[in-house]
Structure 1
């Protein structure tokens, strides 16, 4: 990393929203051959939230956006761009982000969605960072929002117990840095995908195939194997690009898919679990919403302090994976 004045995308505020309906593991015992102990042991999940009937992804995103704006002390009319990471949009089109824009009363700027499944928020952060660096936007609202409960096969115990609904949001603002790893804001990113693995995690429906939303399908053991290796690798690459090493990381804020994946990745990175933000027990896997949910939760608890080095990483269908390094 070259030390020269540069524009950084700095986090100014965080917010999140979880639907009121809480679903404990015991809820699934009457639906599939599973138990609370089986789910806890294999995933670390204890409960998750499901959207209410009629409650949409944009509804969740708007609630999280308002919380983030309030936390940042910034009004909606001061935002230039909205990016929503989601795989469960309200409609085929328009983008959820435009619905958030309308919900916030914004008549200016532009809004669009990013679809990279569980890695979506990392991709959205990288896009927001690039636009801020390029001078195309000064303030970007980045949201991850999902209603995965709408694409569950309730007869498949290997998938239906894993996912939940929710939304998280960050407000990013342009700030001048010195171009060093000591700057606040996003320091680096690393994005990857390999479409040859698409059959490991996908939804068996779509506009140009079945004309239906379809259901989520996953080969869990193979996804696990790829996840641990690829997540550790992408995190190391992003740290190297930022001019940092793993021992300088204050917090790992991973995609909250499975406690075993998170633990194995942290171990591979040489990080103790005391430096890992965990929300998987309470939220389950909320796909693109999981990282901003975890960041907002940790910030609300006062665990993140200015100057902390944070690594976020995620892997999802595609396969798509990546990481972002930022200084809080």
Structure 2
């Protein structure tokens, strides 16, 4: 299948980004000085509840008595130990708002100092208005706000969008919020091999909130990126809107084999772009990649020649947390002391559709 691609931003020489307490942001009127962007803060909010793989399998047996669910199935197929599950009264906007509050507190930034809010996630409270407004109301933000969605690449595309705005001088600070409630996309009533094949993967979805604060900078933090699509692969993973499409099945449907094939077609364009930049993922200090399962991470490392020690594993104890996967890995890397000024970081996103994206950073 043919893959289309798009490149955003130049790959610039590595330079140290502005750090907290350094020079102030370029003035809004000084477009010429706001030539770069950087990630200032990243934060996540993890709900307290955990649901083990055994508990998930027990629920499936109770809801689908006509199918056989072998013990340890989710561990063998996906490497899942447990997933994060939000409280029944928590919405995607609540999880995102908690992460936003944390990111602002870490940065010492007041809500009125944010110039733009982007909500980027698979999950959503509402079809209308933009979910960004719901998050803004819960966090005291008064800036312009809108949603940006591209399945599990939503946050990565939001970073791309924020970088363009910041380099153009349109805004000086952009906050990206993400709230995922993937556990609610689970399909419990399955009958027959076909439904099991497309329904079992949905049982690994997890819940989380994430936030990424980006700023204009005088030195490059975001070095550049490229995005690729194979849109003929869109039927491989679907979550239809029941208010818009009648007769389509409800819940998340994943044809894992077909989805993997649609990802595989994007390997070549991504690899060629890296070669054109004179970059190799194995030369980075950290590689963050979307993690729909533990085995997929190993497959990705083989595809892109990445040593597994450069990856921050998250899936086994969270489940598939969709667009929040990359922010969580950055937070885990910070906790492990792997992110330091000057560290070279690659964010590699893969999403149903299918789409792939790479953003290179100097931390």
TM-score, with structure 1 as normaliser: 0.89
Structure 1 residues without counterparts, runs of 5 or longer: 178-182
Farther-moved stretch of structure 1 (242-251 vs 57-66): 242-251
CA 1:233–1:261 in 2, change beyond 3 Å: closer, same or farther?
farther
Tell me the C-alpha RMSD between the 2 structures: 2.3
Structure 1 residues 3 and 252: CA distance shift in structure 2, 3 A: closer
Match of 1:227 among 254, 263, 288: 263
SS at match of 2:295: helix
1:282 equivalent in structure 2: 317
| Among 59, 70, 90, the residue aligned to 2:105 | 70
Distance verdict in 2 for CA 1:278–1:228, change over 3 Å: farther
1:62 match: secondary structure: helix
Larger radius of gyration: 2
Structure 1 residue 2: Cα displacement: 7.4
Give, in whole Å, the separation in 2 of the partners of 1:40 and 1:169.
29
CA deviation map 1:38-62 (0-9, x unaligned): 2222212211111111210000000
Match runs of 1:1-328 below 5 Å: 7-30=35-58, 31-32=60-61, 33-35=68-70, 37-107=72-142, 109-155=143-189, 156=196, 157-177=199-219, 183=220, 185-210=221-246, 214-230=250-266, 232-233=267-268, 235-236=270-271, 239-240=274-275, 243-328=278-363
Return closer, same or farther for 1:48/1:3 CA change in 2, 3 Å cut-off.
Answer: closer
CA distance in 2, matches of 1:284, 1:47: 7
Give a deviation string over 1:47-96, Cα, whole Å, max 9, x none: 11111112100000000111111222222211111111112210111122
Relative distance call for 1:240 and 1:135 in structure 2 (3 A) is farther
Consecutive unaligned residues of structure 2, counting only runs of 5 or more, are 1-9, 14-32, 62-67, 190-195
Q: 1:103 to 1:234 in 2, by over 3 A?
A: farther
- 59-68 vs 97-106, which deviates more? 97-106
Contact 1:43–1:260 under 8 Å retained in 2: yes
Partner deviation per Cα, 1:126-178 (whole Å, 9 max, x = no partner)? 1111111111111111122211222221234522322111121111111012x
- SS of alignment partner, residue 70 of structure 1: helix
Q: CA deviation at 1:320?
A: 2.5
TM-score computed with the length of structure 2 as normaliser = 0.81
Higher alpha-carbon deviation: 90-99 or 211-220: 211-220
CA distance in 1, matches of 2:179, 2:12: 36
